[in-house]
């Protein structure tokens, strides 16, 4: 963003103000995440930077909160992590299957009532979570699935499918339908065509939708708060209780792990997006 | 000519038109069958339960089922003076059934919501009935009236009559700080008890300002991201995407650490001499905390739609504007800005929709003055267990969101939502 040499002074000043504003906003977005890292290595119990930490004294840092997270007595994180992963994985699989099928149907030009159906399928993403939570709780309580893993998985499928529908329809919008016709003319049946031709081409979209569904489930707390019993506690539930009652540095250790996880997911999502664009022949 | 076209047949002898229509129909069914599993799943587990919330919110059948004989007799009563003997008798027999089922307490509580003072007089009546003090062979009306003076008050009988319909809008009125007065007219709650209206206004206010802040902060960086060369913008994009992918609770936790009284932000203010060390401002558990945290959390939802629109605007348009004699400001305002309006609309509507239903962050950093309507819904679901009121408030919020969703769908189209 180098300015041409003939720029007038006032635009030059304005340009630097603009850069300053942008720097501030980027800082505002990303900096809060980095407060968590150093504090999670705090040797003390308080959530403030101690004098020792400010002077970079090695004794002021320790791994005790990470040890507490893993080995702590009566600690809920092990069970919570197990539950979170089980629920998120099943919810992701469910969302991918239902969402991809629906996206295939919606992308067909023969689909009747496309607008209203699309709006319905996306609605769980738009309706405030608290309302979804109340409604899903009423349903699960009626069919006896409240406080079960199955109930939470179903609830997370509801919340996760919109993301899969959106990403897969976006991928299919650049899809060249003549390849499926070519496959059919060469004698392939529809299922075979889907598995061998369509699926490999839309796979990046499917996986990135799946990542969204996974993160949605893994991070979801409002609906789980209504549905979960003691056995179904998840990482977000434990963090929520921890943040409400007593902010302990163990939470920061967990939070650091979650940030690392989200960084990994971000990298895979970005790589997938680029691969998908390459496959669909979009050059930017 | 037309007769000739009609006679075109396919190889199996069916007119072409019919055959084409058949194929078209088959394709339609095929497409629909692919969508059907998800659609059915959502309708059963999601759309119907929301409908159930509605029937729950207006449901008042409990009392209708408790006093069937009374309400039948009351149909003949004009409601002006004390009801006739038959009503009292019917009420007595209904009440006796309730006492046997031990449900008289529920009746007292329900009637007490309609008019204060019912709880104690139903308890009094219960004791009389329990001890068989009421002689069924003489006038029951006289005996009930002797139990307590309020049973002689026509206003209490009018209150019972008002509960007769199996449906009520009372929960919705309560959500707007109104209620049915004794004569059945809709009345406002006294000024100092209008808590819900404050919450609605605060929710709108916070959603509006969070959207505004997100726009003011998101526009410049979306512009920067869209105009920088790819290799730099990809790097900066991480600053937008990493918070987007990070757990909401993690981000809220980091704001709780930053904004606490001994936190980094206050340390910084003390360091630059903005505030005194012994007079650190409270930045959390109030509106400030809610604004700051929600703006940061929702900012990516503003930046991403803006970015995807700005990316499509050719930089030569700005150059053309300048070469035609516009100053950079004029060129920006007359050329660039109007082209970004679709992105602004999409981003603002998305952020507003998300902000209006926010629950987690206000509950954690909002304190008493920073909580929103969602927190009230959760409170009634979990604490007071008044599920029908929670449903009513939820549906009031939902109707607002659906209006915005509808506008969003008209302007942007739900299938144009961009993720990442």
Same domain, B235 and B342: yes
Q: What is the CATH number of the domain that holds B391?
A: 1.10.3720.10
Cα–Cα distance for residue pair B126/B151, rounded to 1 Å: 13
CA distance B283 to B366: 10
- Taking the C-alpha atoms of residue B419 and residue B304, their distance in angstroms, rounded to an integer, is 8
The answer to whether B286 touches B370, Cβ cutoff 8 Å, is yes
**A96 and A141, same domain (yes or no):** yes
Residue B420's pLDDT is: 47
Tell whether A23 is covered by a domain: yes
Residue B189 is given by DSSP the state P
Do A51 and A153 share a structural domain? Answer: no
Specify whether A89 is located in the same domain as A162: yes
Judgement on whether residues B274 and B412 belong to the same structural domain of the protein: yes
Q: Is the pLDDT of residue A2 over 70?
A: no
Structural domain contains residue B37:
no
Residue B362: HSE in the Cβ half-sphere, 13 Å Cα cutoff? 25
Using CA atoms, how far apart are residues B26 and B320, in angstroms rounded to an integer?
A: 52
Dihedral of the alpha carbons of B82, B86, B88, B89, in degrees to the nearest 10: 170
* Residue where a domain stops, chosen among B151, B166, B181: B166
What is the rounded distance in angstroms from the CA atom of residue B16 to the CA atom of residue B202? 64
Q: Is residue B174 part of a domain?
A: no
Determine the structural domain holding residue A68 and report its residue range.
Answer: 41-75
- Tell me the mean pLDDT in the region A174-192: 87
B417 touches chain A (CB under 8 A): yes
Is the same domain home to A119 and A206?
A: yes
Residue B249 within any structural domain of the chain:
yes
* Contact with chain B for residue A194, Cβ under 8 A: no
Question: What domain count does chain A have?
Answer: 3
Check if the beta carbon of residue B151 is closer than 8 Å to that of residue B95.
no
> Would you state the pLDDT for residue B330?
85
Same domain, A201 and A271: yes
Same domain, residue pair A125 and A258: yes
A101, A22: one domain: no
One domain for residues A59 and A175: no
Higher pLDDT, A41 or B294: B294
Q: What is the mean pLDDT of chain B?
A: 85
B50/A258 Cβ within 8 A:
no
pLDDT, tens digit, for every residue of B242-300? 888 888 999 998 998 888 888 888 888 888 888 877 777 888 888 888 999 999 999 99
- Which residues in B lie closer than 8 A to residue A157 (C-beta atoms)? 41
CB atoms within 10 A of CB B332: 15
Q: How much of chain A, in percent, has pLDDT values that exceed 90?
A: 32
Interacting residues of B24 by C-beta distance below 8 A, sequence separation 6+: A110
| In a shared domain, residues B299 and B365 | yes
Confidence at residue A283, expressed as pLDDT on a 0 to 100 scale: 47
Are residues B155 and B67 part of one domain? yes
Higher pLDDT, A137 or A114: A137
Question: What's the N-to-C CA distance of chain B in angstroms?
Answer: 55
- In terms of domains, do B204 and B75 share one? no
Contact A132 B397 (CB under 8 A): no
| CB proximity B53 to A under 8 Å | yes
Q: How far apart are the first and last CA of chain A?
A: 19
Please give the Cα distance from B143 to B39 (Å, whole number): 60
**A186/A188 Cα distance (integer angstroms):** 6
Q: Between chains, do A270 and B241 touch, taking CB under 8 Å as contact?
A: yes
Indicate whether B44 belongs to any domain. no
Rg (CA), chain B: 32
Instruction: Write the burial class of residue B80 (CB in 10 Å: 0-12 exposed, 13-18 middle, 19+ buried).
Output: exposed
Kindly indicate the confidence band of residue B10, based on its pLDDT and cuts at 50, 70 and 90: confident
Are A135 and A209 in the same domain? yes
Average pLDDT score over residue span B306-311:
88
Judged by average pLDDT, the poorest of A18-27, B139-148, B235-244 is B139-148
Looking at residue A175, the DSSP 8-state letter turns out to be -
B370 shares a domain with B233: yes
Residue B56 lies in a domain: no
In the block, which residue shows the tokens 């900066």? B236
Q: Residues B404, B328: one domain?
A: yes
Domain count, chain B: 2
Domain range spanning residue B376? 195-416
Residue B1: band (very low, low, confident or very high) from pLDDT cuts 50, 70, 90: very low
CA distances from B90 to A28, B68, B99, B158 (A): 69, 9, 14, 15
Predicted local distance difference test score (pLDDT) of residue B185? 77
Same domain, A221 and A252: yes
> Are residues B404 and B274 part of one domain?
yes
Closest CB to B246: pick one of A33, A111, A284.
Answer: A33
Q: Does A51 map to a domain?
A: yes
d(CA A195, CA A200): 7
Structure tokens at A164: 């899969």
pLDDT at B415: 61
Question: Is A151 part of the contact surface with chain B (CB cutoff 8 Å)?
Answer: no
Of A26, A47, A134, the CB nearest to B53: A134
B219 and B354 fall within a common domain:
yes
In this complex, the residue of B236, B255, B414 whose CB is nearest that of residue A32 is B255
Residue B304 and residue B240 in contact, taking contact as beta carbons nearer than 8 Å: yes
Minimal CA separation from A99 to chain B, in Å = 7
Please give the angle made by the CA atoms of B339, B345 and B351, to the nearest 5 degrees: 140
Coil/strand/helix, residue A273: helix
Is the CB of A248 inside 8 Å of chain B's CB atoms?
no
The burial class, CB within 10 Å (0-12 / 13-18 / 19+), for B149 is exposed
Question: Would the pLDDT of B4 be above 70?
Answer: no
Residues of B in contact with A130 (CB under 8 A): 357, 359, 374, 377-378, 394, 397
Phi-psi region of B87 (alpha: psi -120 to 50; beta: other; left: phi over 0): alpha
Asked whether residue B149 falls in the same domain as residue B244, the answer is no
Angle ∠(B180,B182,B187) on CA atoms, nearest 5: 40
pLDDT of B145 above 70: yes
Measured from the Cβ of residue B15, the count of other Cβ atoms closer than 10 Å reads 14
Q: Same structural domain for residues A92 and A16?
A: no
Torsion angle, alpha carbons of B143, B147, B148, B151, to 10: -40
| Measured CA angle at A25 (ends A20, A29), to 5 deg | 150
A219 vs B228, B247, B260: nearest CB: B247
Token pair 């932000």: residue? B265
Determine whether the interchain pair B221/A128 forms a contact, defined as Cβ–Cβ distance below 8 Å: no
**B-proximal residues of A, 15-34, CB under 8 Å:** 18, 21-22, 25-26, 28-30, 32-33
User: CA-based angle A220:A226:A229, to the nearest 5?
Assistant: 95
Flag whether B287 is in a domain.
yes
pLDDT at residue B66 greater than cutoff 50? yes
For an interface test with A, which of B35, B36, B55, B227 has the most A Cβ atoms less than 10 Å from its Cβ?
B35
Asked whether the predicted pLDDT for residue A284 surpasses 50, the reply is no
* Residue A91 burial (CB count, 10 A): 26
Is A203 an interface residue toward B (CB < 8 Å)?
no
Q: Is residue A284 part of a domain?
A: no
Q: How far is CA A175 from CA A121, A190, B33, in A?
A: 21, 16, 21
Residue B276 in any domain: the answer is yes
User: Within a domain: residue B115?
Assistant: yes
Q: Does B130 touch chain A (CB under 8 A)?
A: no
Q: Is B20 on the interface with A (CB under 8 A)?
A: no
Residue A128 and residue A210 share a domain: yes
The pTM of this model reads 0.84
Closest CB to A110: pick one of B24, B245, B417: B24
Which chain B residue shows the shortest CA-CA distance from A12?
A: B328
pLDDT > 90? residue B189: no
User: How far apart, in whole angstroms, are the C-alpha atoms of residue A154 and residue A170?
Assistant: 25
């Amino acid at each position: 963003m180098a300015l041409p040499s003939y720029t007038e002074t006032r635009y030059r000043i304005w340009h630097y103000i603009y850069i300053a504003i942008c720097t501030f906003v980027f800082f505002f977005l990303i900096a809060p995440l980095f407060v968590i890292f150093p504090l999670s290595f705090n040797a003390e119990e308080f959530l403030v930077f101690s004098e020792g930490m400010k002077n970079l004294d090695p004794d002021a840092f320790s791994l005790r909160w990470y040890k507490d997270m893993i080995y702590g007595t009566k600690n809920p994180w092990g069970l919570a992590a197990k539950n979170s992963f089980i629920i998120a994985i099943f919810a992701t699989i469910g969302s991918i299957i239902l969402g991809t099928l629906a996206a295939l149907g919606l992308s067909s030009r023969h689909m009747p009532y496309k607008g209203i159906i699309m709006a319905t399928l996306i609605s769980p993403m738009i309706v405030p979570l608290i309302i979804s939570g109340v409604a899903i709780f009423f349903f699960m309580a009626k069919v006896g699935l409240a406080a079960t893993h199955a109930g939470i998985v179903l609830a997370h499928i509801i919340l996760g499918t919109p993301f899969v529908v959106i990403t897969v329809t976006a991928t299919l919008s650049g899809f060249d339908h003549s390849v499926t016709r070519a496959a059919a003319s060469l004698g392939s049946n529809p299922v075979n065509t889907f598995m061998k031709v369509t699926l490999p081409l839309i796979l990046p979209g499917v996986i990135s939708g799946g990542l969204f569904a996974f993160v949605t489930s893994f991070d979801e707390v409002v609906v789980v708060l209504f549905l979960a019993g003691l056995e179904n506690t998840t990482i977000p539930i434990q963090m929520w209780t921890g943040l409400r009652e007593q902010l302990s540095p163990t939470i920061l250790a967990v939070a650091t792990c979650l940030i690392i996880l989200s960084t990994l997911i971000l990298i895979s999502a970005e790589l997938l997006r680029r691969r998908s664009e390459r496959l669909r022949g979009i050059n930017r | 000519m037309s007769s000739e076209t009609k006679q075109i047949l396919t190889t199996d002898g069916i007119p072409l038109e019919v055959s084409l229509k058949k194929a078209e129909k088959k394709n339609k069914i095929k497409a629909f069958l692919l969508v059907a599993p998800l659609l059915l799943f959502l309708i059963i587990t999601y759309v119907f339960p929301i409908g159930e919330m509605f029937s729950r919110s207006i449901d008042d059948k409990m009392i209708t089922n408790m006093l069937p004989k009374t309400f039948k007799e009351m149909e003949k009563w004009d409601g002006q003076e004390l009801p006739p003997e038959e009503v009292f008798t019917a009420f007595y027999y209904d009440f006796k059934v309730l006492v046997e089922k031990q449900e008289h307490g529920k009746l007292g509580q329900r009637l007490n919501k309609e008019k204060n003072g019912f709880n104690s007089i139903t308890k009094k009546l219960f004791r009389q009935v329990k001890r068989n003090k009421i002689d069924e062979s003489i006038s029951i009306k006289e005996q009930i009236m002797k139990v307590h003076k309020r049973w002689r008050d026509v206003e209490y009988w009018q209150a019972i009559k008002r509960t007769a319909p199996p449906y009520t809008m009372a929960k919705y009125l309560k959500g707007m700080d109104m209620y049915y007065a004794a004569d059945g007219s809709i009345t406002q709650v006294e000024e100092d008890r209008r808590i819900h209206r404050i919450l609605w206004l605060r929710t709108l206010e916070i959603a509006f300002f969070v959207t505004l802040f997100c726009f003011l902060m998101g526009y410049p960086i979306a512009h920067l991201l869209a105009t920088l060369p790819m290799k730099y913008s990809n790097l900066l994009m991480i600053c937008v995407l990493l918070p987007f992918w990070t757990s909401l609770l993690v981000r809220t936790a980091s704001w709780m650490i930053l904004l606490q009284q001994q936190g980094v932000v206050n340390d910084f203010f003390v360091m630059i001499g903005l505030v005194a060390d012994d007079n650190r401002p409270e930045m959390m558990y109030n509106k400030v905390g809610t604004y700051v945290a929600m703006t940061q959390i929702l900012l990516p939802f503003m930046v991403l739609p803006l970015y995807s629109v700005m990316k499509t605007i050719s930089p030569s348009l700005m150059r053309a504007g300048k070469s035609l004699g516009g100053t950079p400001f004029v060129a920006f305002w007359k050329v660039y800005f109007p082209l970004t309006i679709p992105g602004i609309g999409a981003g603002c509507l998305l952020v507003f929709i998300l902000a209006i239903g926010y629950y987690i962050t206000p509950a954690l950093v909002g304190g008493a003055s920073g909580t929103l309507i969602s927190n009230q819904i959760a409170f009634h679901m979990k604490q007071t267990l008044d599920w029908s009121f929670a449903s009513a408030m939820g549906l009031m919020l939902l109707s607002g969101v659906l209006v915005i969703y509808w506008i969003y769908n008209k302007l942007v189209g739900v299938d144009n939502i961009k993720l990442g």
